[in-house]
Amino acid sequence: MDRRELLKQACALGVAAPFIMPGRALADTDDAMILASVHPELREIARRILPFGRAPLNITTLAQQRKGAEAYGPKPSADVPYERRVIPGSKGQPDVAIYLINAAAGAARPAILFTHGGGFVTGTALSSVASLQTLCKELECVAVSVDYRLAPETTFAGSIEDNYTGLKWLHTNAAQLGVDNRRIAVMGESAGGGHAALLAITARDRGEVPLCFQCLIYPMLDDRTGVSRQMPSHVGNIVWTAEKNRFGWESFLGVKPGGRSVPGGVPARVSDLAGLPPAWIGVGSIDLFVDEDVDYAQRLNNAGVPTELILVPGAFHGFDSPFFPAKISRWFNSAKLDALRRGFGIPG
C-alpha cells in the first residue's frame, strides 16, 4: 500500500490499540532509540507506525503492495468536480490517464500539476484525488493528477514523458479548463516530489511551459541516499527506509543507484539549477530525505532560485497525514497552503 494508506491504517488502530507487534517488549532498545528522536506530538502515532513500516518492499512484495494501495485508496468527494481523462501521449509514447479536478470553463484560476508518491514503484493518481479536491477548494484552483507509468516496468524516461504530457496538455488547454496559464505550479510528495522537481527541470530545458512555482513535499531527490550517502542511525527508520529507497531508485533508474554516474532522472545530480521556478521544500528532521532536501534547497538558493525550506524537528516521512491530530502536522499543511498562495499570487 502507499504511504498515506499505511498511515491511515495505523491511525485506525486507535489510541487504545497495541503500539507494537505482539511479542515485542515496549522497552525494545531499537524502538526506544527511534522514538526518542520523534517530536513529542508525533511519538504516539510513531509507535503504531513502526511495525507497519517494517514491511519489506521488493520485487517479490511489489504486486501485493500495489494491490493494497488500490484497495484502500481514499474516496473522492462529490462536492468538488473531478473526472478521469485519457490524453494523447508524446511522440512514440502511449496515451496518458489523468484526473482533472475543479475545472470550470470561463474562469482564470491557478493550477497544479500533481505527481503522486509511492517510491516510484507504487501509487495511483486516483489515490490523490480526495486530498487535491480539498486543496482545490481551499485555493480555488484547478489540479491535474497524472497516472504516470511505474517502475520497474518503466524507467524514469517513460514517466518523465507521461508527466510532461500532462503538464503540456494543461497549459495548452488552459482556456477551456478555466486556468490562467501564467499560474501553473508543479507539486508532489515523496517520489512525487522527485517527479515534480524533474518536471520543473524538464519544463525549463524544453522552454514550452512556463511554471510559476514548485512545491516539493519531502521530495525523493538523490539516488545516493542509503548507498554512498549514509544517514545517522536515528534517521530514516519510520515508513521509508534506506532499504526501500535502494529498491525504488534501482527500479526507477534501471541501474544500481549511488554510482559515480547515472543515466538521468536524479534531480540532485543535475549540475545547473538556474532558471527554475521559485520553490518550497518541506521535510522532517528524521525523514530519510532530510539531507538531500536541505542540500537541494541550498543549491537552488545558490543558483538564484527563490527557495523556502521548512525543516520540522522530530518529524518522520509522511507526518503531515490528514489522519494525524498533531498540531505540528496541521501547521506544516498550513505552511504548504500559504506557500502555494504566495506562488500563485493569491492575496492574503
Reported as type and span, the H/E element at residue 116 is: none
Alpha-carbon distance of 168 to 321, in angstroms, equals 30
- Is the bond preceding 219 in cis, omega lying within 30 degrees of 0? no
Residue 53's closest CA among 125, 124, 117, 2?
Answer: 2
116 has catalytic annotation: no
Active-site residue among 2, 287, 293, 320? 287
- Angle at which helix 156-172 crosses helix 242-253, to 10 degrees, equals 80
Rounded-to-10 torsion of CA 90, 95, 98, 104: 70
CB 115 within 8 A of CB 188: yes
CB 317 within 8 A of CB 218: yes
The single-letter code of the amino acid at 44 is E
DSSP state of 139: H
Active site residue 287: yes
Chain centre distance of CA 21? 28
Backbone angles phi, psi at 117, to 5 degrees: -90, -175
Residue carrying C-alpha cell 536515528: 234
Query: CB of 201 within 8 A of CB of 230?
Result: no
Q: Are 221 and 188 in contact (CB under 8 A)?
A: no
Q: 190 an active-site residue?
A: yes
Catalytic residue among 39, 171, 195, 317: 317
Instruction: Give kind and range of the element (H or E) at residue 31.
Output: helix 29-36
Q: Which of 159, 190, 251, 321 is catalytic?
A: 190
Cα within 13 Å of Cα(237), Cβ side: 19
Residue 348's contacts (CB-CB under 8 Å, 6 or more residues apart) are 341
Helices within 54-110 (DSSP H only): 62-71
Hey, which residues are catalytic here? 190, 287, 317
